[in-house]
Structure formats: structure tokens, C-alpha cells
Amino acid sequence: MKLLSVKSAAAVAMTSALLLSGCANKAVVSYGDAQAVETTDINFGSTDLQKVASQMTDSLLASPVVGTMTANTRPIVFVERIKNKTSEHIDTESITDSISTQLLRSGKFRFVDMTRVEAVREQLNFQNVDPLVNPNTAIAFGQQVGAQYMLYGNLSSIVKSNADKADVYYKFTMRLMDLKSGLVEWADETEIRKTREKSTFGW
């Protein structure tokens, strides 16, 4: 009876230890401010993305040329994916998404989404070829509206480091081109510099 009691106590102790271990290793998840400044490292991050998207959008909308261009109409624009000329893996599509979304919200532009051309072509093929679709409701080919302007840009960087300090300089440039004339109607750039110094305990 005494041996059984000892075994029971050992089993309870082991179960408690496992439960406590599970609790100790359990991750705590919480929400943060999506607009808060990110300072985890000096690589291109969320704060940098928000900064360049906001500055380029504000600059474009404040341009006198663009003001004249959008006075009585909403020009149709397509956004070319930003060219990443840095050594980092950066999702530049997120930058173009943010810029085009903010411009759409302004109510001054309309956009064609070149990333969905193949999907649209497949759908139109289905509507016009497949006998399951009522031909009276099928959208005919040749109805797509062409873009009048192209918005494009580059993201480049210069990285310098030594034993005590690391420095990265980013330059983001954008241009708006009239597709008919080939003329660049607007251009601007913004810069970001980030520095990381070695602490007493290392990087």
C-alpha cells in the first residue's frame, strides 16, 4: 500500500512538472501598433515602407502638373513593380500596393492591375468559349481600357560597416510617365539612413 502511494505521488509530481513546463514554454501573443517605429535592425522594414509610400503619394498629389492633369478627369495608371537594387530581399510589391491604394483613396486616379492580366484573360476565354456561359452575359474581347500613365521606380542602397558601426543608406525614386508621349510628368525621391553601433555586449 505504501509502495502504491509513493508511485502515485511520483506520477502526480511528474504530471505537474510537465504541466508547468508547458506553461513556461507557452508563447504570449499580443497586438502592437502597426504605425509604431520599428527599430529591430537596420534592414528595410515596415516603418521604411510606410515612410516612402506616404512621402511619394503626398508629393505626387501635391504636384501642380498632376493637379492640372486630374482637374477634370481621373487618369488611368498602371504601376510597375518597384525594382529592388539593394542586396536585401525586399517585397517591393508591398510598396507599390501601398502607393496605389493611397492614390485610389484620393479619388484622383484609376488603375489597371497588370498582375492580374492572365487571370482576366482566362476568365474572358471561359465566358466567350465555354457553352456553360450565357453568350448574352459574356464580356466581349477588346473592351479593356488602356492605361494612360505608368508609375515606376527604383529602390537602391549603400551599406558601409566596420568593427564598431554599420550604416545603410536607402534611396527611393519614382516617376510618372505619359505612355503616349513618353514624357516624364512627375518625379521625386526620398532618402533613409539607418545606423547601428556595437554595444558592450556585441551587436
pLDDT in tens, 11-52: 555 666 555 555 556 778 766 566 666 666 677 878 888 899
Q: What domain range includes position 59? A: 44-112+147-197
Sequence-distant (6+) residues with CB within 8 A of 55 are 188, 190
- Name the nearest CA neighbour of 96 among 70, 109, 78: 78
Q: Is residue 84 part of a domain?
A: yes
Residue 99 grid coordinates: 502607393
Q: Is residue 193 part of a domain?
A: yes
Place of cell 497586438: 31
Q: Is residue 166 part of a domain?
A: yes
Q: Where are the alpha helices (DSSP H) in 31-133?
A: 46-62, 64-69, 92-106, 117-129
Q: Is residue 38 part of a domain?
A: no
pTM: 0.73
Overall domain count for the chain:
1
Asked if pLDDT for residue 119 goes beyond 70, the answer is yes
Q: Is residue 23 part of a domain?
A: no
Q: How many residues does the chain have?
A: 203
Q: Is residue 12 part of a domain?
A: no
CATH number at residue 80: 3.40.50
